């Protein structure tokens, strides 16, 4: 009975907040094509393959909320004699989010393109403009839902509902644009600043055929900042601050923290990362601290592996264990470890 009540309250909360649902990864730089289309091709190499998986609230749900994304992008030199240092990025991304409690899923496939303009010689600065076109589908399984008129008073929800339900799936086109600036300073310092505007045409996201203002997906504006600051002369130890600010309608989220990168081995071809984060959020009930995060990452030549664990502060105060776990894997083809043009994790 308690579990059924919990699911009912969860469904009510989820439906009431559906306009605020969007892609969400703690390791946001490990999923660059969902973060900012200007990060398409923002790496030193020929191609990049990556995937990330998020598992949320496993301790309190029989079937946790699962979010998965995978992407591939290419980087190649721009044509033309006057564009020797410029580059073009092309990418393809797949995303799926599944709320198993009510069997509600969001699936997207998107293509993106970016132009990396070199500012000056030596490939020390790039200004990038990117765009993304996606097709999104949302689906709900009505067989997983129970309605009041199905209850027979004796055996449970065994009747047939008379609710007039719409088609259980719909699709819409979605568009995003982004800008990103990268610069190298000193011998091994890096700085990365970017911003992206998602859903700028505000597509309708209702299962019903309606064009009401409240059924449109809010535009989302996010800004990203990252840096690589050497702490030793040989750059075997460096500090990697990370900040993401996202605003969508009345909601705001901030992910802020830092990683420490330590090179491993004689030549430093491998490295280990560890860091801590905090995530304040602003909703209709005000600003508060949503979660604290621990992160661990590994670089093994061209392979990147990231692990993170989110602990919900509200659940901690209520002596519960609501949390989220993420794992990301990426492979960089023809990777040159001497240059870094996109932050990791």
pLDDT digit string, tens, across residues 273-321: 999 999 999 887 788 898 999 999 999 988 999 999 998 886 544 455 5
Q: Is residue 163 part of a domain?
A: yes
| CA distance readout (Å), 303 to 10, 75, 222, 298, 321 | 39, 17, 28, 8, 32
Query: What distance lies between CA 82 and its chain's CA centroid?
Result: 36
The CA radius of gyration of the chain, in Å to the nearest whole number, is 22
Domain hosting residue 229, numbered range = 26-333
What total number of domains does the chain contain?
A: 1
80-84, 96-100, 178-182: which has the highest mean pLDDT? 178-182
pLDDT of residue 214: 66
58: nearest Cα among 328, 337, 315, 332: 315
Residue 338 lies in a domain: no
Q: Is residue 341 part of a domain?
A: no
Model-level pTM?
0.87
Flag whether 260 is in a domain. Answer: yes
Of residues 8 and 295, which shows the higher confidence score?
Answer: 295
The two tokens of residue 175 are 């568009």
Residue 136 belongs to a domain with what CATH number? 2.40.160.40
Instruction: Give, as one character, the DSSP assignment of residue 35.
Output: H
Predicted confidence (pLDDT) per residue in 233-255, tens digit = 888 999 999 999 999 999 999 99
Structure tokens, 107: 């699936």
303 within some domain: yes
The answer to whether residue 13 sits within a structural domain is no
- The whole-angstrom separation of Cα 26 and Cα 307 is 10
Q: Which residues pair with 286 in a beta bridge?
A: 283
Residue 10: inside a domain: no
Q: Are 68 and 53 in contact (CB under 8 A)?
A: yes
* Residue 3 belongs to some domain of the structure: no
Closest CA to 42 of 132, 133, 113: 113
């Amino acid at each position: 009975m308690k579990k059924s009540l919990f699911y009912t309250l969860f469904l009510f909360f989820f439906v009431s907040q559906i306009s605020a649902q969007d892609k969400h990864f703690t390791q946001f730089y490990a999923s660059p094509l969902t973060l900012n289309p200007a990060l398409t091709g923002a790496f030193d190499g020929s191609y990049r393959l990556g995937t990330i998986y998020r598992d949320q609230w496993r301790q309190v749900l029989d079937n946790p909320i699962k979010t998965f994304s995978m992407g591939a992008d290419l980087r190649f030199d721009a044509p033309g004699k006057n564009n020797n240092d410029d580059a073009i990025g092309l990418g393809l991304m797949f995303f799926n989010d599944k709320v198993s409690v009510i069997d509600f899923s969001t699936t997207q496939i998107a293509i993106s393109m970016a132009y990396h303009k070199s500012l000056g010689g030596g490939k020390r600065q790039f200004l990038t403009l990117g765009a993304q076109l996606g097709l999104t589908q949302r689906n709900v399984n009505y067989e997983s839902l129970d309605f009041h008129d199905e209850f027979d008073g004796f055996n449970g929800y065994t009747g047939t509902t008379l609710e007039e339900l719409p088609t259980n799936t719909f699709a819409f086109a979605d568009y995003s644009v982004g800008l990103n600036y990268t610069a190298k300073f000193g011998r091994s310092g890096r700085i990365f600043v970017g911003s992206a505007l998602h859903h700028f045409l505000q597509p309708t996201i209702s299962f019903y055929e309606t064009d009401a203002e409240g059924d449109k997906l809010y535009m989302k504006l996010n800004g990203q900042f990252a840096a690589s600051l050497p702490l030793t002369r040989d750059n075997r130890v460096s500090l990697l601050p990370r900040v993401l600010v996202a605003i969508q309608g009345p909601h705001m989220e901030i992910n802020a923290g830092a990683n420490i990168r330590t090179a491993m081995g004689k030549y430093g071809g491998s490295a280990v990362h560890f860091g801590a984060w905090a995530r304040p959020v602003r909703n209709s009930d005000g600003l508060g601290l949503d979660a604290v995060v621990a992160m661990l990452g590994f670089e093994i030549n061209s392979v990147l592996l990231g692990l993170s664990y989110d602990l919900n502060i509200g659940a901690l105060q209520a002596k519960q264990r609501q949390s989220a776990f993420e794992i990301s894997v990426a492979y960089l083809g023809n990777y040159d470890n001497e240059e870094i043009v996109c932050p990791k994790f």
